[in-house]
Copies of this chain bind each other. A is one copy, B any other.
Amino acid sequence: MTKYFTILPFLIYCSSAFAQDYTQFVNPFIGTSNYGATHPGAVLPAGMASVSPFNVAYKKGDGNVFEKDSEWHSRTYVHENNFLTGYSHVNLSGVGCPDLGSILLMPTTGKLELDPEKYGSTYRLEQASPGYYSNHLTKYNIKTEVSATMRTGISRYTFPAGESHILLNLGLGLTNETGAALKIVSHTEIEGYKLIGTFCYNPEDVRPVYFVAKFSRPADKFGAWKKMPEYTAEAAWTTYNNIYKPYNGYSYEMAGENIGTYFSFQTREGEAIEVKIGISYVSIANARENLEKEQPAFSFDQTAAKAKSVWNSLLKRIEVQGGTDDEKTIFYTALYHILLHPNIFQDVNGDYPLMESSGIGKTNGNRYTVFSLWDTYRNLHPFLSLVYPELQSDMINSMLSMYKESGWLPKWELLGMETNVMVGDPATPVLVDSWLRGIKDFDIDQAYEAMKKAAITTDGNKLRPGIEKYSTLGYIPEGAYDNLWGTVSTTLEYNISDWNLAQLARELGKNDDYKYFNKRALSYRNYFDKFSGMLRPRMSDGSWLTPFDPKAGANFEPVVGFVEGNAWQYRFYVPHDINGMIKLVGGSKKFVNELQRCFDEGNYDMANEPDITYPFLFNYVKGEEWRSQLKVRELIGKHYSNTPSGIPGNDDTGTLSAWLVYSMLGIYPHCPGDMSYALVSPVFDKVTIHLNQKYYPGERLVIQTEKNKPGDVIIEKVKLNGAPYNGYFIDHQNLINGSELLFKLKGH
């Protein structure tokens, strides 16, 4: 892969002088192939703005393999591609649906060309590190560098001598939503907005993202442009027919679908021009204020240094010793990916768009957005609760504000819009799990009210379609509801949410609720089909869906009863009742055999969430825990690597990365809301997690690992604070008290 350069060699060389620099172990190219859907652009932790190279338009250049409009495509950047058409300033990381990837800035030279298919360029000499990305545009001999603050991006383009241009394109982008407006304010400033949305092709969710762009040097010439429609009868008189039309010197409002601006400069050899762009989801005025507050001057180097420093301050929360450079890199890069979403939504003045409303809210704290909860409730939020509880607290409070504003907790919240993507009621396990772990600085009564509303409302329940039959029949029958995706999967999700709510009810002394929800949490058993040993869709009359193929539905193929998976992949997804499941399937031995079959027969999918807790479930059967230890290590080796394809599939806003980080630490929260972690073999010799003492009594959690020889992965024994520790689960309370966990590993 000749065009793939990281700045690792240099950084490693310097690492002795900067021992605290963990950004050296982040490779932002990981996940940019194999549908990981991450991008290598510049972004801060939880950054609202980001600056990503955009190379997914047109099958052109030195082989653009993937083209955004030729498939279901959710990536602003694909490592295999090599035709850059600009830098997008709002981007999602690791999501499965196209959106954002908009507000594209692109430098060019020579004759002004407005068609991105023509002005795009191949590139080489890519470099990326947290808060920084750079390449060299081969067509123009321009060095491009980008960095970011929380709500702004900055680009530095180093031009050759001659006629140079910087194009802002509001037409091209990843989002399927069309339409934009802009105004050239002066020779150094542009303002406007671009409509984004239709996430997952959902036509309802649309809003504008506002921006203000400022240039470090006044343009010698500027203008707007727009692609004109195709004229037929009038073609004879129409100068710009189905092509890009320049509006030279135009400084009124411009609106349309394929519009942009050009700023032209006569540049000296090696002259650098910087462009900073402020973003807001509230207004142009706020975008300008964000820009003025976060980047009052033009100082690319300072901005990039600040970004690196901010990253380091979060990454160093976990210090590792031992392991190879590649292991450290996949670990810290996963940590990096975890910290991208949910991200900040409010402007520097505290303004943010209210949930599901066109109103504007104001907050003194942090308002988060981009909650891909069907993914993240499983491990990412439990991870944040452990390592970054202050972030998780703000996220919880953001979720509760969404409830206050819209009447419902979020499911897949994107920029203040409930996209209703995926199924279940995943906010509940996030809230409960956080509370139980020790994050209690939110209004638990209101949280309970919000969760219970979703759990019991039968009329117009926006979060839990099918709740009526679910409550009365104990399962959701096939065919009873239009537009209800995956009766079995949805029921399983409701079960774990109910189980979580029950745990909290017990904590809060709401015993009736506890009993009710705890019982309802086991209703999945109604789907258990003794004949197949599977959870099998049922009809309203209680009969089984027939025919039934437990393998049908793998690889995201649609299948009746299940959501992004087949019966195998959902077979054991009752993490709150694995012991019950063991009985159902016929005992421990049968359970172990079937779980092993799941892996052996290719029914386990590392690239999607429903089954990602399965590798840890062998821990439930005494004497079989080695299977979890082996399997997890095998999956890490097979699916994760320090390469662009080093994430098994869509990162799902960090969920697959959270799986990796936990697995490498040797602890995994196998069931959200259950304070028990499954133990597997840690990868590193020593890991120190610096705990946030506002939430946890301990200063740090240390995980030490001793091996007899390199390659040992089987747990021989475990010690907690020097004392032998029995069992392969450990409770959260044991990790947050300043404990030291020691693993002694042996060969297989």
**Which residues of A pack against B, CB within 8 Å?**
69-72, 176, 178-181, 193, 195, 201, 203-204, 206-208, 226, 228-229, 231-234, 237-240, 245, 247-248, 250-257, 259, 358
Give chain B nearest CB distance to A90 CB in angstroms.
Answer: 15
Bound Cα distance A245, B206 (Å)? 12
Q: Among B181, B231, B247, which residue has its beta carbon within 8 angstroms of that of A206? A: B247
A70 — which chain B residues lie within 8 A by C-beta?
Answer: 233
Given A179-B259, A193-B255, A252-B358, 15 more A-B residue pairs with CB atoms under 8 Å apart are: A70-B233, A176-B231, A176-B234, A176-B238, A179-B226, A179-B254, A179-B256, A195-B253, A195-B254, A195-B256, A204-B247, A206-B252, A208-B253, A251-B358, A256-B256
Contact yes or no, A250 B206, CB < 8 A: yes
- Tell me whether A69 and B232 are in contact in the complex, defined as CB-CB below 8 angstroms, given that A201-B237, A226-B179, A239-B203 are known contacts: yes
A248 — which chain B residues lie within 8 A by C-beta?
Answer: 204
Residue of B nearest to A258 (CB): B257
Bound Cα distance A257, B226 (Å)? 11
List the number of copies, as a whole number.
2
- Which 10 pairs from chain A and chain B are nearest by CB? A179-B256, A201-B237, A181-B255, A251-B358, A179-B255, A255-B255, A181-B181, A70-B233, A208-B253, A203-B239
A226 — which chain B residues lie within 8 A by C-beta?
Answer: 178-179
Bound Cα distance A45, B27 (Å)? 70
- Tell me whether A203 and B240 are in contact in the complex, defined as CB-CB below 8 angstroms, given that A179-B256, A180-B255, A257-B257 are known contacts: yes
- Tell me whether A69 and B181 are in contact in the complex, defined as CB-CB below 8 angstroms, given that A253-B208, A254-B195 are known contacts: no
Contact yes or no, B255 A69, CB < 8 A: no
A358 — which chain B residues lie within 8 A by C-beta?
Answer: 250-252
Contact yes or no, B195 A234, CB < 8 A: no
A207 — which chain B residues lie within 8 A by C-beta?
Answer: 252
Contact yes or no, B256 A72, CB < 8 A: no
24 contacts between A and B (CB under 8 A): A69-B233, A72-B234, A176-B231, A176-B234, A176-B238, A179-B255, A180-B255, A181-B255, A193-B253, A193-B255, A195-B253, A195-B254, A195-B256, A203-B240, A203-B245, A206-B247, A206-B250, A206-B252, A208-B252, A208-B255, A252-B358, A255-B256, A256-B256, A256-B257
A233 — which chain B residues lie within 8 A by C-beta?
Answer: 69-71
Contact yes or no, B178 A256, CB < 8 A: yes
Bound Cα distance A335, B69 (Å)? 57
A250 — which chain B residues lie within 8 A by C-beta?
Answer: 206, 358
A195 — which chain B residues lie within 8 A by C-beta?
Answer: 253-256
Residue of B nearest to A193 (CB): B253
Contact yes or no, A253 B181, CB < 8 A: yes
Q: Among B201, B231, B256, which residue has its beta carbon within 8 angstroms of that of A69? A: B231
A257 — which chain B residues lie within 8 A by C-beta?
Answer: 179, 229, 256-257
Bound Cα distance A84, B203 (Å)? 30
A251 — which chain B residues lie within 8 A by C-beta?
Answer: 358
A245 — which chain B residues lie within 8 A by C-beta?
Answer: 203
- Tell me whether A201 and B252 are in contact in the complex, defined as CB-CB below 8 angstroms, given that A232-B69, A233-B71 are known contacts: no
Give chain B nearest CB distance to A601 CB in angstroms.
Answer: 31
Bound Cα distance A257, B229 (Å)? 10
Bound Cα distance A71, B231 (Å)? 11
